Amino acid sequence: MAFAHRDLTGILDFTKDELLYILDKTALMKQALREKRVKDYRLANGRDLLAALLFYENSTRTRTSFEIAAQRLGMHVTGFSGTEGTSVNKGESLRHTLDMFEAYQCDCVIMRHPLDGSARFAARHVGMPVFNAGDGKHEHPTQTLLDLFTIREHLGRLSDLAIGISGDLKFGRTAHSLAVALAGFEGIRLHLFSHPALAMPDEVVEMVREKGVEVHVRESLDELAADVDILYQTRIQKERMPDLSEYEKAKAIGLFTGRTMEKTRAHFGLMHPLPVDKSAPSIAAEIDAHPRALYKTQAGNGVPSRLVELALSLGLMGDDFQGEVFSEPECSDAFIEQRPIRQKPVRDDVSIRPIRNNGVVIDHMEPYAEETLLQVLRVRERRDIYRAATVKATSNPHNIKGMLMIENRRLTDAELRTVASVTPGCTVNIIENGAVSQKLKLSLPARIMDVPGMMCTNNGCISRPEYLESVSPFMLRAGQNRVRCYYCGQIMNISQIV
Ligand code: CP
């Protein structure tokens, strides 16, 4: 059972084979629901399964369609819709709230939460499957599955398509997940339109371009609509905007009207994850009954789509799946390489002299990285004897490098990991009785955690200390000197994290 016990926290949790399988099953389930073939969808009958729906933010479609899907499957549901009346408003952390629903022996958690990465945290924290029903501005993968289903239902394919995405591309999690998901298919051209302040994040554009997607940033919604097969309109996410003057400017552009519809192709489909904000509409009400307006059908597809997702994770279907199964990419966590030792005579004419007895010399660091190491190794707090400098390399005076020497200090394995995390590429010389006993070349570890002072640069990430959620920052290597936050996916340069 390839899908049993799996979380659904991001759209990249699936291979293309798995996505297509889910869409095929959704089509069958939609038909079964329409024809009220109860035995084909009441798959949990007799299993006494309980879903916890924890909605910290407002929702109509996602919450009710999950609830209906669970009930149609034959599951019970519990949880809350908004934090009013819950102990969240007494200051309870997400961790403790999740613990409760695990203690009640719920079988899965379906959660919407305002912090980016909250679903990834929940999935690490509890032993039952977690469904991300929207985490901050990060992702909304179950929306994307029904979006992909709707596109394929309307056009018959998911490849060789021109797709427009418009509205709030910065804070709109549905826009991010859809762009990333479409990048897994061939021949996708993305046409983006938004107020410049609400443009698609660079890392999403970079990721989809790397996968071969053509990305066009358009100046006019009308022109864009004429060139695409599907337009995915989105709401300006006022509740996530720190500067409401930006909202006032952004809401004035991008209204899809009857005139816009006149310019579209015959097979065109207008989609929207909904809701449409009536005080700043992105779609004029006159469009609602138009045959090319797909958003009501799209929202209705939420029930069969989420029913299939629940059934797969709970092991109620999926035994006929054949194809590539998702697995986390394997990557070696080795970060220490032993290097040969060349004993050099001690020179007294250099400004920094090696340690004469015991200690450690950290060399070939990025210039000025020694200041960071002094902090993370708590050198001053420990009252260590040290020298730190950015100097010219003796081998090549055009190269400057950071160095740190600490007398009578032996770095633990955890400290070596910390050094590798903040200054990859450095060498660590272990000095015993005045001579180098080991020379270690450090590279960036695959997993970066427990670095004192490390913080994700995304100020909406659940791992930020100001949210008091006690979620330790956890980064994954994402290329040379780059890391990705495990929770919210933010890409950062290692020089930014401490
Ligand atoms: N599309 C969507 O997430 O709608 P709701 O906010 O109503 O759940």
Residues 146-189 pLDDT 10s: 999 999 999 999 999 999 999 999 999 999 999 999 999 999 99
Does the pLDDT of residue 113 top 80, yes or no? Answer: yes
The answer to whether residues 102 and 128 belong to one domain is: yes
**Sheet-wide strand order for 50-55:** 76-81, 50-55, 108-113, 130-135
The answer to whether residues 96 and 164 belong to one domain is: no
- What's the pLDDT score for residue 346? 55
Three-class SS state of 455: coil
Q: What is the mean pLDDT of residues 300-328?
A: 97
pLDDT tens digits for range 249-280 = 888 889 999 999 999 999 999 999 999 999 99
Question: 323 CB less than 6 Å from ligand 1?
Answer: no
Three-class SS state of 398: coil
Distance between CA atoms of residues 308 and 306, nearest Å? 5
The answer to whether residues 15 and 119 belong to one domain is: yes
Cα-to-centroid distance, 1 and ligand 1 (Å): 30
Question: 72 CB less than 6 Å from ligand 1?
Answer: no
Ligand 1 atom with minimal separation from the 134 CA = 3
**In a domain? residue 307:** yes
* 388 against 343, higher pLDDT: 388
At 246, give phi and psi (nearest 5°): -65, -35
For residue 123, give the CATH number of its domain. Answer: 3.40.50.1370
CB 360 within 8 A of CB 429: yes
Question: 142 CB less than 6 Å from ligand 1?
Answer: no
Q: Looking at the DSSP assignment, which residues form a beta bridge with residue 215?
A: 190
The answer to whether residues 246 and 173 belong to one domain is: yes
Structure tokens, 97: 């709230």
Question: 166 CB less than 6 Å from ligand 1?
Answer: no
* 346 against 221, higher pLDDT: 221
CB 282 within 8 A of CB 254: yes
- What's the pLDDT score for residue 17? 97
What percentage of the chain has pLDDT greater than the value 70?
98
Among 408, 430, 445, the domain-final residue is 445
**Sheet-wide strand order for 474-477:** 447-449, 474-477, 482-485, 491-493
Distance between CA atoms of residues 342 and 431, nearest Å? 13
The answer to whether residues 72 and 133 belong to one domain is: yes
The answer to whether residues 91 and 116 belong to one domain is: yes
Q: How many domains does the chain have?
A: 4
CA contacts within 13 A on the Cβ side of 459: 3
The answer to whether residues 373 and 424 belong to one domain is: yes
Residue 34's pLDDT band (cuts 50, 70, 90): very high
**In a domain? residue 4:** no
Q: What is the mean pLDDT of residues 466-472?
A: 98
Candidate from 56, 58, 62 with most ligand 1 atoms within 8 A of CB, to mutate: 62
- What's the pLDDT score for residue 354? 63
pLDDT tens digits for range 218-227 = 999 999 999 9
* 40 against 398, higher pLDDT: 40
Query: What rounded mean pLDDT belongs to the chain?
Result: 94
**In a domain? residue 294:** no
Distance between CA atoms of residues 10 and 145, nearest Å? 11
- What's the pLDDT score for residue 395? 76
Does the pLDDT of residue 98 top 80, yes or no? Answer: yes
For residue 430, give the CATH number of its domain. Answer: 3.30.70.140
Distance between CA atoms of residues 149 and 67, nearest Å? 20
Among 74-83, 232-241, 456-465, the least confident range: 232-241
Residue 343's pLDDT band (cuts 50, 70, 90): low
Among 254, 272, 290, the domain-final residue is 272
CB 172 within 8 A of CB 239: no
**In a domain? residue 171:** yes
The answer to whether residues 149 and 30 belong to one domain is: no
Handedness of CA 29, 35, 40, 42 (dihedral sign): positive
pLDDT tens digits for range 347-399 = 554 445 567 789 999 999 999 999 999 999 999 999 999 999 999 887 787 88
Question: 61 CB less than 6 Å from ligand 1?
Answer: yes
Ligand 1 atom with minimal separation from the 63 CA = 8
- What's the pLDDT score for residue 342? 77
State how far Cα 140 lies from the chain centre.
10
CB 117 within 8 A of CB 489: yes
What percentage of the chain has pLDDT greater than the value 90?
86
Does the pLDDT of residue 133 top 60, yes or no? Answer: yes
Does the pLDDT of residue 228 top 60, yes or no? Answer: yes
Which structural domain, as residue segments, surrounds residue 365?
336-445
- What's the pLDDT score for residue 351? 47
The answer to whether residues 146 and 265 belong to one domain is: yes
Does the pLDDT of residue 331 top 80, yes or no? Answer: no
Residue 140's pLDDT band (cuts 50, 70, 90): very high
The answer to whether residues 409 and 485 belong to one domain is: no
E strands present in 275-422: 336-339, 359-365, 386-392, 400-407
Does the pLDDT of residue 329 top 80, yes or no? Answer: no
Q: What is the mean pLDDT of residues 89-93?
A: 98
Distance between CA atoms of residues 346 and 189, nearest Å? 62
Q: What is the mean pLDDT of residues 25-52?
A: 97
CB 104 within 8 A of CB 78: yes
Closest residue by Cα to atom 1, ligand 1, is 273
The answer to whether residues 378 and 421 belong to one domain is: yes
**Nearest by Cα to 282 from 290, 294, 291, 274:** 274
Distance between CA atoms of residues 334 and 441, nearest Å? 11
Closest residue by Cα to atom 4, ligand 1, is 61
**In a domain? residue 328:** no
The answer to whether residues 407 and 439 belong to one domain is: yes
